[in-house]
């Protein structure tokens, strides 16, 4: 099983590495633009947030946004394409268990999230003096976030019947949730009602914990954030496994 | 010794209520070269899909080398190599990677898989293209790639769904030689094909599937013996009389130098002797129809 798992992961890493111009490079450019415009040009006018200048405040959120988008994009496109060109049959006829298939695809998503996140971090380091409060919190939050959105991308790919179906969720659900999850602002500046509503958005907990890893301050309890993320991962993993085992949209 | 494949009462009804297979019983002995014939929509690909775990069955049982698919699925999967009808690989992957990955899914480490991929790619004459993306291969090359992929984990049973579709004559012959070689080494091969000549020249046993049911299963020899009728084209160096004389067998003038005769029980030599007595000298004799094709059409009631 270990060889099969390793094979899927290596295949996934080679897949997104071969097309690095589409997968790795664009987020680094986009992020640099975000930092230049929001952090550099507008940041001084906005002023400090959560006790730090605006540029340092938004960096963790922007890195995590690229992790979310890329982890999701990797599994949704890879698994949907495998369905589309029927290469998923290579796995279905082989004795690889469904857990290993799921774990392999999710690991591929995590690997892309990590590659892009690290690329953005390195790019940002050229312009901004970055310090990390807790590398442990940064890594654990990154890992849970990447796993969660890789699973979400996988579920999207199972249900997707066309290329449109793999772009609807990222555009109409993922993007608004990311932007409203406190990436560009601290939820403390929102009216009470919107603060409460923000707490139903799982991305808020990820951004908040990730920011804590960098800045050492947060607006919610770290343990609560981890519990929210872990619960969601368990839920999505069970759903993804069930769909795969039942062969939904894969086997008739 | 258990059968390589044993299917009992296999039934498949799709969600749209189309019944693709109905109570199918089929057995294939170990070491056999077995043909599964049937027209489009007869249920061949559905049957293969169920055997290879790509489709869920509605009812019935499948056992491979004595192992029940329902209870020992992973072991059953290891026994089977599949070359499907449709291309089902990632066209954006290099072909050597496709083979190595497939071996990896069966637990074969990369080093071993690389050696096996080299052996197979050389055998199917694709070694020079090992780093090319699969999408750049021709249709025939893609089929050979799928054959090599099916053999990466050294299966006991090789299932080929229309292996010769889109493959030119020369490559087809070389593929046949390779398949015969594998069969001689003890591999059980199950083949579906539209080229009835392929089934006739390669397979020892045969089943004919029609509308989801097995309507005939026997040895190729016994099946062909049922076809006593022969349709021949006879060619003469001289112009044939027009009209042709009345003979004891059916004869039809095709052109100035050739005619078609249908022989039921009469031997070719007797027919030639009869024609000779009428002053018609025949220089060339060839078969007008594949015997298996004749029988297939008769059994599936599509002969006019």
Express each pLDDT in B289-298 by its tens digit: 666 776 777 7
In this model, does residue A99 exceed pLDDT 80? yes
Chains A and B: how many Cβ contacts under 8 Å? Answer: 76
What's the pTM? 0.84
Name the band, by pLDDT with cuts 50, 70 and 90, for residue B253. Answer: confident
Structure tokens at A156: 């999207």
Give the single-character DSSP code of A220.
S
Tokens of B178: 């390779």
* Mean local confidence (pLDDT), A100-118: 96
Chain B closest-CA separation from residue A92 CA (Å): 6
Q: How far is B9 from chain A (nearest CA, A)?
A: 19
- Residues A248, A237: contact at Cβ < 8 Å? no
Chain A, nearest residue to B83 by Cα? A90
Q: Which residue has the higher pLDDT, B137 or B172?
A: B137
B56·A247 Cβ contact <8 A: yes
Kindly state the average pLDDT of the residues A108-131: 90
Cis peptide before A14 (omega within 30 of 0): no
What pLDDT, on the 0 to 100 scale, is given for residue B121? 96
Q: Of A197, A199, A221, A218, give the one whose Cα is nearest residue A208.
A: A218
Smallest CA–CA distance, residue B201 to chain A, in Å, is 29
pLDDT tens readout for residues A9-59: 999 999 999 988 888 889 888 887 887 787 777 777 777 777 788 888 888
To test the contact with chain B by mutation, choose from A1, A13, A94 the residue with the greatest count of B C-beta atoms within 10 A, namely: A94
Contact A247 B82 (CB under 8 A): no
CA distance B154 to A171: 46
Give the pLDDT confidence score for residue A239 in this predicted structure: 97
Provide the pLDDT confidence category of residue B74 given band limits of 50, 70 and 90.
Answer: very high
The percentage of chain B sitting over the pLDDT mark of 90, rounded to a whole number, equals 53
Cβ-Cβ contacts under 8 Å, A89 against chain B: 54, 84, 88
Q: Which residues of B touch A (CB under 8 A)?
A: 14-15, 52-56, 73-75, 77-78, 80, 82, 84, 86-93, 97, 100-102, 104-109, 149, 153
- What's the confidence (pLDDT) of residue B303? 46
Taking contacts as CB-CB distances below 8 angstroms, the residues of chain A near B149 are 90
A247 and chain B: CB distance < 8 Å anywhere? yes
Query: Which residues of A fall within a CB distance of 8 Å from B102?
Result: 90, 94
Which contacts of B289-294 are long-range, i.e. CB under 8 A and separated by 24 or more positions? Answer: B289/B231, B290/B196, B290/B197, B290/B200, B291/B200, B291/B224, B291/B227, B291/B230, B292/B196, B292/B197, B292/B199, B292/B200, B292/B220, B292/B223, B292/B224, B292/B227, B293/B196, B294/B227, B294/B229, B294/B231
What average pLDDT does the segment B214-222 reach?
A: 86
Chain A hits for B80, Cβ within 8 Å: 93
- Statement: residue B34 has pLDDT above 90: yes
Compute how many other C-beta atoms are within 10 angstroms of the C-beta atom of residue B230. 18
The pLDDT of residue B62 is 96
Cβ <8 Å between A90 and B77: no
Rounded to an integer, the average pLDDT of B13-18 is: 90
CB-based contact (8 Å) between A86 and chain B?
Answer: yes
CA angle A90, A94, A95 (to 5 degrees): 150
Cβ separation A94–B106 shorter than 8 A: yes
The answer on pLDDT for A76 being more than 90 is yes
pLDDT value at residue B99: 97
């Amino acid at each position: 099983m270990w060889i099969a798992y390793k094979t899927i992961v290596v295949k996934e890493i080679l897949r997104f590495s071969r097309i690095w111009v589409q997968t790795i490079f664009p987020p680094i450019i986009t992020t640099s633009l975000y930092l230049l415009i929001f952090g550099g040009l507008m940041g001084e006018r906005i002023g400090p947030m959560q006790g730090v200048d605006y540029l340092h405040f938004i960096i963790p959120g922007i890195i995590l946004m690229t992790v979310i988008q890329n982890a999701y994009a990797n599994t949704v496109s890879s698994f949907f394409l495998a369905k589309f060109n029927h290469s998923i049959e290579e796995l279905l006829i082989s004795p690889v268990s469904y857990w290993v298939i799921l774990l392999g695809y999710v690991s591929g998503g995590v690997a892309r999230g990590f590659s892009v996140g690290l690329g953005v971090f390195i790019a940002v380091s050229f312009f901004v003096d970055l310090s990390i409060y807790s590398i442990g919190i940064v890594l654990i939050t990154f890992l849970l976030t990447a796993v969660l959105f890789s699973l979400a991308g996988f579920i999207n790919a199972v249900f997707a019947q066309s290329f449109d179906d793999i772009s609807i969720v990222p555009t109409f659900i993922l993007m608004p949730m990311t932007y409203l999850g406190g990436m560009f602002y601290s939820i403390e500046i929102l009216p009470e009602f919107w603060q409460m509503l923000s707490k139903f958005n799982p991305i808020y907990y990820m951004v908040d914990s990730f920011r804590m890893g960098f800045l050492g301050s947060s607006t919610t309890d770290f343990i609560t954030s981890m519990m929210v993320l872990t619960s969601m991962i368990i839920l999505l993993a069970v759903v993804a496994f069930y769909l795969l085992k039942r062969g939904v949209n894969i086997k008739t | 010794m258990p059968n390589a494949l044993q299917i009992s009462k296999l039934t498949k009804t799709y969600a749209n209520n189309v019944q693709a297979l109905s109570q199918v019983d089929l057995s294939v002995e170990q070491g056999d070269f077995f043909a599964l014939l049937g027209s489009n929509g007869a249920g061949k690909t559905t049957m293969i899909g169920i055997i290879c775990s790509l489709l869920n069955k509605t009812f019935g049982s499948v056992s491979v080398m004595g192992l029940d698919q329902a209870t020992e699925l992973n072991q059953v999967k290891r026994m089977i190599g599949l070359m499907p009808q449709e291309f089902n690989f990632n066209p954006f992957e290099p072909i050597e990677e496709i083979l190595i990955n497939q071996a990896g899914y069966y637990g074969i480490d990369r080093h071993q898989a690389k050696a096996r991929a080299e052996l197979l790619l050389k055998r199917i004459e694709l070694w020079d293209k090992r780093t090319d993306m699969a999408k750049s291969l021709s249709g025939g090359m893609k089929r050979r790639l799928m054959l090599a992929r099916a053999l990466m984990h050294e299966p006991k049973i090789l299932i080929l769904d229309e292996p010769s579709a889109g493959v030119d004559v020369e490559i087809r012959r070389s593929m046949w030689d390779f398949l015969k070689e594998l069969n001689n080494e003890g591999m059980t091969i199950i083949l579906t094909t539209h080229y009835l000549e392929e089934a006739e020249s390669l397979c020892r046993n045969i089943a004919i599937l029609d509308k989801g049911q097995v309507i005939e299963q026997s040895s190729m020899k016994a099946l062909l013996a049922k076809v006593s009728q022969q349709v021949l084209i006879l060619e003469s160096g001289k112009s044939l009389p027009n009209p042709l004389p009345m003979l004891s067998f059916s004869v039809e003038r095709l052109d100035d130098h050739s005619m078609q005769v249908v022989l039921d029980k009469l031997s070719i030599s007797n027919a030639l002797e009869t024609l000779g007595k009428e002053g018609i000298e025949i220089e060339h004799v060839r078969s007008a129809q594949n015997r298996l094709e004749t029988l297939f059409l008769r059994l599936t009631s599509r002969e006019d």
